[in-house]
Amino acid sequence: MALPREYTGEDCAIARTLEIIGERWTLLIVRDAFSGVTRFSDFRDHLAIPRAVLTERLNLLTEHGILARATAASGRDEYALTTKGKELWPVVWSLLSWGTKYCIPAERCRAYRHTGCGGAIAPDGRCEACGAQPGPADLTVYPRPTSLPLTANKTDPVSRALSVPHRLLTPIERAPA
């Protein structure tokens, strides 16, 4: 039996936030949106998430104004972070930093650099070179120096795009079909 999504007994901002972004897969979808993923199929293939779960999460994120859905020239729905969604960056960055400190050795993690000056981004979100605290649009993510066992053989468009430096919030480019 699935647990309820709501924390009805909690009158707390964290509980209300978790009702929106706290379910499994949701923050990974948000992370991928920051990386420039826009298409349903790219979220699905990169995350290996069941179609029904992805549909539910994308609907929830659009219902709450975190993602906006638009029909592209191809006729496909595409998703982009809204201003409200982009304000989740400090949460995503904090989780990335915490995970690098406690869960995965730093030498196996992607590096983030300030696009303006090339400086590395410290755990507190500040550029180590210039001292600025750049937002996600001013960051470039670099590939992992070594492959993680779970992602070493991934060949989906998102994994291929992230195998080279990629500016956050820039849509993933797809090869023509």
pLDDT in tens, 78-131: 999 999 999 999 999 999 999 999 999 888 899 999 999 999 999 999 999 999
pLDDT tens for 10-49 read 889 998 999 999 999 999 999 999 999 999 999 999 999 9
Q: What is the residue range of 71's domain?
A: 13-85
The answer on 163 and 93 residing in a single domain is: yes
* Residue that terminates a domain, selected from 85, 102, 120: 85
Overall domain count for the chain: 2
Shared-domain flag, residues 131 and 162:
yes
Whether 50 and 114 map to the same domain: the answer is no
Q: pTM for this structure?
A: 0.91
Beta partners for residue 56, in sequence order: none
Asked if 54 and 44 count as a contact pair (C-beta separation under 8 A), the reply is: yes
One domain, residues 127 and 147: yes
One domain, residues 102 and 77: no
- Centre a 10 Å sphere on the Cβ of residue 32 and count the other Cβ atoms it contains: 19
Do 52 and 28 share a structural domain?
A: yes
Residues 163, 98, single domain; the answer is yes
Q: Is residue 142 part of a domain?
A: yes
How far, CA to CA in Å, does 136 sit from each of 58, 115, 148, 167? Answer: 21, 10, 24, 8
115 and 126 co-located in one domain:
yes
Say yes or no to pLDDT of 147 above 60. no
